[in-house]
């Protein structure tokens, strides 16, 4: 089990912003337990070295109080201690890529910490998803993603290992409705909150 490190005040906290992010593998916004996911653990994986993705870090400068933005790379994340994994090619024509897991957590004690997650079908209208509706992204064909996630420093009680992972703060997901989307789409707004 991981916990926050005791010297958090010495850590550099920032948010990672990814425009045109490429998700990989099956997302688990519902928190369903599988061979790869613990029951209740909502998460998705994202490629960190895709040349089409614009990636930067955003933080508040301690002296000026202003938001600062700086372009970053996968190597920068690795140097900061992020748990970057490498997918090796499975067959001919496959490319290797580096990816990280982003956690999605809804906080009942402090709802202001909940991520802002929006779904769009490209008609200019976004619908905000919540803990009960976010599962719809698991089965969706996602065409375009902009995300922001915050740093979370951890250390293991079990073996003393430590690192950084991310928790989603904001996500905009453009999905493909399919051939009959306009005809059969169920309004997300109608789902029970």
- Over residues 42-87, the pLDDT tens digits come to 999 999 999 999 999 999 988 999 999 999 999 999 999 999 999 9
- Segment holding 75, helix H or strand E: helix 74-79
Tokens 């409705």 sit on residue = 177
Cβ(110)–Cβ(122) below 8 Å: no
Residue 108 corresponds to which tokens in the numbers above? 């009942």
Cβ-based neighbour number of residue 41 at 10 Å: 16
**Of residues 9 and 92, which shows the higher confidence score?**
92
Percent of the chain's residues with pLDDT above 90: 60
- The model carries a pTM of 0.84
pLDDT at 52: 96
State pLDDT tens for residues 7-43: 445 568 899 999 999 999 999 999 998 887 788 899 9
Cβ-based neighbour number of residue 9 at 10 Å: 7
Percent of the chain's residues with pLDDT above 70: 87
């Amino acid at each position: 089990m991981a916990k926050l490190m005791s010297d958090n005040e010495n850590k550099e906290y920032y948010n990672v912003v990814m425009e045109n992010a490429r998700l990989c593998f099956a997302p688990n916004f519902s928190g369903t337990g599988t061979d790869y996911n613990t029951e209740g653990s909502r998460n998705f994986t994202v490629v960190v070295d895709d040349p089409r993705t614009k990636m930067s870090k955003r933080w508040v400068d301690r002296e000026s109080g202003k938001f600062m933005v700086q372009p970053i790379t996968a190597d920068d994340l690795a140097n900061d201690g992020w748990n970057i994994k490498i997918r090796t090619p499975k067959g001919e024509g496959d490319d290797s890529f580096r990816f990280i897991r982003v956690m999605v957590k809804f906080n009942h004690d402090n709802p202001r910490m909940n991520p802002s997650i929006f779904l769009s079908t490209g008609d200019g209208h976004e619908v905000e998803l919540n803990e009960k509706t976010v599962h719809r992204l698991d089965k969706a064909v996602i065409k375009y993603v902009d995300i922001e996630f915050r740093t979370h420093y951890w250390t293991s009680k079990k073996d003393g290992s430590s690192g950084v992972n991310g928790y989603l703060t904001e996500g905009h997901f453009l999905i493909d409705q399919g051939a009959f989307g306009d005809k059969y789409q169920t309004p997300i707004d109608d789902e029970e909150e």
